[in-house]
Amino acid sequence: MRALISVSDKSGIVELAKELVFLGIDIISTGGTYNKLKESNIPAIEISELTGFPECLDGRVKTLHPAVHAGLLAIRNNPSHMKQLADLNIDTIDLVIVNLYPFKETVLKDEVTRAEAVENIDIGGPTMLRSAAKNYQDVAVVVDPMDYDKVLSELKEQGAVSLDTKLYLMHKVFMHTSAYDTLIAEYLKNERNDISLPETLTMTFEKVQDMRYGENPHQSAAFYREVGKKQGSITDAVQLNGKELSFNNINDTNGALELLKEFTEPTVVACKHGNPCGVGSADNIDDAWTKASSADRVSIFGGIVVLNREVTLKVAQEMNKIFLEVVVAPSYDDEALKLLQTKKNVRLLQMADINKPQNENAYDLKKVNGGLIVQTIDSKLLEEEELKVVTDRAPSDKEMDDLLFAWRVVKFVKSNGIALAKDMQTVGIGPGQVNRVWATKQAIDHAAELIDADATKGAVLASDAFFPFDDCVEAAHQAGITAIIQPGGSIRDEDSIKKSNEYGIAMVFTGMRHFKH
């Protein structure tokens, strides 16, 4: 029995090779792996001795030879195959232990050059893996050091690797080579700054953790991260306290973080079930917390809170009075962290790069039965040159500040969505209604219920898409709202403009909608 060993990740390889030699298995090896084995006094045959051909082109060609691949691909119970091996004086290879050049680690380095990245594209390794995996019934192929013990145990106990294990290892090989090639393709896409949607879409993700369950307890789930430098992502947050994040925690927190990135001033976002329930901006984070938490004291209970400034002791003291699922901030005051950690279940996350925006070339993916719908992310807020006052009265400076604040918020409210704001604080949010006037009335009703009857007087309104009728303007006027921001574009825009002029409401068109389904 012969084993071919050629590994970039050499962890555990010396110990495994010693056990293989003890079992009477001959070892063939290459380059650095061969040297590592010889240093450890492990007998091995160098690959050029097997092929009769020296390594060449700085090691680019060493295993691409019939003596290797015929030994891997020959079907053992096929007499014709075995006769050809005998005629060619080629012996079989029964165990392949290979892992690949560290392409991922290379391209993740700072200032890596294209030449360096390309040189770390493995050719011989994937070819050997594919050959061995194709002939899985006769060859055991190991790509992951975590499987060394499994293979070794079966060799010791049974004298061979079981067919079930070989099939498992085959599957693992093709998952690995597929992910490897996908990383290369993704690197080249970024090198070319290619923003097109390709004819075929292949992506690779690495598992962060298995989860206790999915959206509901009867659904299984896992958390995966994209491979690469993903700044400002929850996948790289450091957890300082609490239970592991649930499926819903991650989904809701991600939405809250993406909204938070729209703000540079001190801001707090509270989120519940994928929708913001309270947002506040101020000159300092203490006042921003007060605005966000007082915007909806009911819904914030059991919610997600994200902040773009350090959590102060004062904020932590207020947080500690209610139940929160998740808190995310760039940092925590020492005393604030100690206080929050007294609640063992609150999940405290630290993200130093919390304000880093997503790559504008990133994809937004939604799985549908039998397919996938893909779009570029909604990275823009508005085109400033498209912003247009369409009513007789223009917004005051204060109203315009509140309009742009509300517009940032409504971008992340499920459509049909309405956001009401006053003094850089949300006072009412109407998410996910099947018609826009219902969303408007819901936001107004919530403002009166959760804050006070006068909460909407002097407030502004943002709508994620145009008004198909003037009924939303009517409802806004009845609530005392003085300014509206919306995309415009309805065939009945003039109805809403006329109604706004009638009531002295300022209206601004953005020329850009933000549906969020």
Tell which of 322, 350, 378 closes a domain: 350
Q: How many CA atoms lie within 13 A of 382 on its CB side?
A: 27
Rounded Cα distance, 302 and 308, in Å: 20
Q: What pLDDT, on the 0 to 100 scale, is given for residue 229?
A: 63
Q: Tell me phi and psi for residue 333, to 5 degrees.
A: -55, 140
Rounded Cα distance, 329 and 348, in Å: 8
Query: Which CATH number fits the domain that encloses residue 428?
Result: 3.40.140.20
Spatial CB neighbours of 486, under 8 Å, sequence gap ≥ 6: 462, 463, 465, 466, 467, 496, 507, 508, 509, 510
| Total domain count, the chain | 3
Residues 35 and 17 sit within 8 Å (Cβ to Cβ): no
Does one domain contain both 44 and 109?
yes
Rounded Cα distance, 202 and 373, in Å: 13
Q: Active-site residue among 81, 134, 356, 477?
A: 134
Q: Active-site residue among 18, 273, 314, 343?
A: 273
Does one domain contain both 153 and 23?
yes
398 has catalytic annotation: no
Angle at 105 between CA 99 and CA 108, to 5 degrees: 155
Decide if 212 is inside a domain. Answer: no
Angle at 44 between CA 67 and CA 13, to 5 degrees: 105
Q: What pLDDT, on the 0 to 100 scale, is given for residue 471?
A: 95
Rounded Cα distance, 186 and 60, in Å: 23
Rounded Cα distance, 428 and 277, in Å: 8
Does one domain contain both 159 and 91?
yes
Decide if 82 is inside a domain. Answer: yes
218 has catalytic annotation: no
Decide if 225 is inside a domain. Answer: no
| Closest to 377 in 3D by CA, of 472, 275, 255 | 255
Of 225-239, 383-397, 449-463, least confident by mean pLDDT is 225-239
Does one domain contain both 23 and 159?
yes
Q: What is the mean pLDDT of residues 467-495?
A: 95
Tell which of 135, 159, 191 closes a domain: 191
Decide if 365 is inside a domain. Answer: no
β-pairing verdict for 460-463 and 483-486: parallel
Rounded Cα distance, 408 and 402, in Å: 10
What is the H or E stretch that residue 116 is in? Answer: helix 114-119
pLDDT at 123 over 70: yes
Q: What pLDDT, on the 0 to 100 scale, is given for residue 107?
A: 82
For residue 274, the one-letter residue type is: G
Does one domain contain both 245 and 316?
yes
pLDDT at 361 over 80: no
Does one domain contain both 20 and 95?
yes
Does one domain contain both 163 and 281?
no
Does one domain contain both 409 and 339?
no
Confidence band of 259 (pLDDT split at 50, 70, 90):
very high
Summary count for the chain: helices (H), strands (E): 18, 21
Decide if 165 is inside a domain. Answer: yes
Decide if 198 is inside a domain. Answer: no
Q: Is 242 helix (H, G, I), strand (E, B) or coil?
A: coil
The better pLDDT of the pair 103, 291 is held by 291
Cis peptide leading into 416, omega within 30 of 0? Answer: yes
Q: What is the mean pLDDT of residues 262-281?
A: 95
Rounded Cα distance, 191 and 131, in Å: 31
C-beta atoms surrounding 118 within 10 Å = 14
Does one domain contain both 395 and 310?
no
Q: What pLDDT, on the 0 to 100 scale, is given for residue 451?
A: 87
Q: How many CA atoms lie within 13 A of 350 on its CB side?
A: 14
Query: Which CATH number fits the domain that encloses residue 153?
Result: 3.40.50.1380
Decide if 52 is inside a domain. Answer: yes
Q: What is the mean pLDDT of residues 89-104?
A: 89
For the sheet with 45-46, list strands across it: 45-46, 26-29, 2-6, 95-98, 140-142
In 369-474 the beta strands, taken as DSSP E runs, fall at 371-376, 388-389, 418-421, 426-430, 460-463
Does one domain contain both 136 and 36?
yes
Q: What pLDDT, on the 0 to 100 scale, is given for residue 372?
A: 85
For residue 236, the one-letter residue type is: D
Does one domain contain both 299 and 390?
no
Q: What is the mean pLDDT of residues 270-277?
A: 93
Tell me: the pLDDT tens digits for 183-198? 888 888 888 887 788 8
Beta bridge partners of 316: none
Instruction: Give me 59's structure tokens.
Output: 């090691």
Q: What pLDDT, on the 0 to 100 scale, is given for residue 445?
A: 93
Decide if 16 is inside a domain. Answer: yes
Tell me: the pLDDT tens digits for 205-223? 888 889 999 989 999 999 9
Tell which of 191, 215, 248 closes a domain: 191
Rounded Cα distance, 117 and 190, in Å: 13
Helix, strand and coil percent figures for the chain, each rounded to 5: 40, 20, 40
By residue range, what is the domain housing residue 129? 2-191
The residue behind tokens 């392409």 is 103
For the sheet with 303-307, list strands across it: 238-241, 347-350, 324-329, 303-307, 267-272, 275-281
Does one domain contain both 291 and 409?
no
Q: What is the DSSP letter of 297?
A: T
